[in-house]
């Protein structure tokens, strides 16, 4: 989406959302967050009950593009219904715990689906690593899909994202960040480089 299209989208969203700025203390702040996301090509992470979502246009129609900049958290796995965090199912027995939701291979073994090849290589998977002085338990590492966020960036912006820097910290979904206190690192630099080499 070019800059003119982004400005036109915002121009049409303002009259829909602005009348509700006083309804809830979060709506005005969240619209500012959404405005920044649209202008910068990033994504807002909100829970499904966030008030601003009530005032946005539907996912079909002239203003549907706004949803390209919104990730509604608390979504359920399309196969088993368990919670999703960062695009991965949290039920370790579900194939989608190893495959992002967009990968058809997550359906392998399902009685109504044919087995299909894995497409996870087409996605950029970041890893959130809590850091403790005496503990490096990989069972606490959390993988999350950042493909759509990176796809909206220019190649230069994507190349400037480095492990252990604030640029990569900004990729972390709120549902992951809020569950962990203390220091952490994000591993994503190599995954971005491999994806760019393949897709750009």
Strands 84-85 and 88-89: what pairing?
antiparallel
- State the pTM of this model: 0.55
What's the pLDDT tens digit per position in 168-183? 888 888 778 777 777 8
Per-residue confidence (pLDDT) for residue 82, from 0 to 100: 86
Domain ranges of the chain: 3-73, 84-199
179 Cβ contact list (under 8 Å, min separation 6): none
β partners of residue 73:
47
The per-residue pLDDT for 135 is 54
The confidence score (pLDDT) of residue 13 equals 93
pLDDT score of 56: 82
**Residue numbers in the chain where pLDDT is lower than 50:** 133-134
What pLDDT does residue 68 have? 83
Distances (CA, A) of 105 to 99, 101, 116, 187, 192: 7, 9, 5, 24, 22
Q: What is the pLDDT of residue 1?
A: 77
């Amino acid at each position: 989406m070019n800059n003119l299209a982004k400005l036109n989208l915002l121009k049409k969203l303002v009259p829909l959302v602005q009348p509700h700025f006083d309804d809830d203390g979060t709506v005005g702040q969240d619209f500012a967050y959404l405005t920044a996301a649209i202008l910068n090509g990033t994504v807002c992470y909100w829970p499904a009950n966030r008030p601003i979502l009530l005032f946005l246009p539907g996912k079909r129609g002239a203003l549907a593009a706004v949803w390209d900049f919104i990730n509604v958290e608390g979504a359920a796995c399309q196969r088993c219904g368990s919670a999703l965090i960062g695009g991965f199912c949290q039920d370790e027995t579900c194939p989608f715990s190893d495959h992002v939701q967009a990968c058809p291979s997550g359906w392998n073994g399902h009685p109504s689906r044919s087995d299909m090849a894995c497409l996870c290589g087409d996605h950029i998977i970041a890893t959130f690593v809590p850091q403790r002085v005496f503990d490096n338990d990989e069972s606490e590492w959390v993988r999350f899909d950042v493909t759509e966020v990176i796809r909206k960036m220019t190649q230069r912006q994507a190349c400037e994202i480095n492990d252990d820097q604030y640029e990569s910290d900004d990729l972390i979904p709120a549902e992951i960040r809020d569950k962990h206190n203390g220091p952490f690192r994000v591993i994503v630099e190599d995954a971005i480089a491999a994806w760019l080499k393949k897709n750009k």
